[in-house]
Amino acid sequence: MGNFILERHPTQQQQHPPRFCCDTVVVPLSKSCSISRDFVSTKNITSLPFPIGSRYKDMSLLASEIKTISHIPRKRQIVITHRSRLCANPYVIGRLSGEYVSIVQNWTRLSINDTAETLSQLVGRYNVPSKGKYYLEIIGLLCNDLSWDGEYKHACLEDPSYMKLTDDWAHIYVDSLGANENTLDRDVGIGHWRMSNKVVSMPLQTRYQPEGCHANKDERCLLPMSTDRFDPYQFEFQNQNESSLIQDRVLAVNEANQNILLCFVGLSHAREMAAAVNLWLQKLNTSNIKAVSVDAQFPRFVNRQFIQNNIIGRKCTRTVIAAGQWSVGRIPPGDVKLTCPPQDWRHPAVIDQLNMIIKNLTQSMGVQFIDTSQIIGPMWDAAGDFCHYRNDDISSSEALYMLGRLLPFEI
pLDDT, tens only, 70-122: 999 999 999 999 988 889 899 999 999 999 999 999 999 998 876 677 899 99
Task: Please report the beta strands in 57-131, taking only residues with DSSP state E, as ranges in sequence order.
Answer: 59-60, 66-72, 77-83, 91-97, 100-112, 119-125
Residue 214: is its pLDDT beyond 50? yes
What per-residue confidence (pLDDT) applies to 195? 93
Do the beta carbons of residue 157 and residue 338 sit within 8 Å? yes
Report the candidate in 188, 135, 100, 102 with the shortest Cα–Cα distance to residue 14: 135
Question: pLDDT value at position 323?
Answer: 58
Query: Would you state the pLDDT for residue 82?
Result: 93
CB 407 within 8 A of CB 250: yes
Q: What pLDDT score does 216 carry?
A: 74
For the cut 50, the answer to whether the pLDDT of residue 226 exceeds it is: yes
For residue 219, name the pLDDT band (cuts at 50, 70, 90).
Answer: confident
> Which has the higher per-residue pLDDT, 4 or 264?
264
pLDDT > 70 fraction of the chain, expressed in percent and rounded: 80
* pLDDT band for position 16 (cuts 50, 70, 90): very low
What's at 3, amino acid-wise? N
Lowest mean pLDDT among 39-48, 84-93, 224-233, 307-316: 39-48
Q: How much is the average pLDDT of 152-174?
A: 89
- Residue pLDDT, tens place only, 267-283: 888 999 999 999 999 99
What lies within 8 Å, CB to CB, of 310 at 6+ separation is 263, 265, 294, 296
Query: What separation in angstroms does the CA of 317 have from each of 268, 277, 320?
Result: 21, 15, 10
Q: Which of 156, 388, 367 lies closest to 273, judged by CA?
A: 388
Instruction: Calculate the average pLDDT of the chain.
Output: 81
Q: Minimum mean pLDDT among 52-56, 165-169, 329-333, 404-408: which range?
A: 52-56
**329: confidence class by pLDDT, cuts 50, 70, 90:** low
Residue 26 has pLDDT above 90, yes or no: no
Residue 35's pLDDT band, with cuts at 50, 70 and 90, is very low
- Per-residue pLDDT band at 37 (split at 50, 70, 90): very low
What was the pLDDT predicted at 56?
44
What confidence tens digit (pLDDT) does each residue in 53-72 have? 444 445 678 898 999 999 99
* Rounded Cα distance, 306 and 360, in Å: 23
Cβ pair 114, 166 in contact under 8 A: no
228-236: average pLDDT = 94
Per-position b or e across 371-406, b if 16+ CB within 10 A of its CB: bbbbbbbbbbbbbbebbbbbebbbbbbbbbbbbbbb
Residue 138 parent element (H or E): strand 132-142
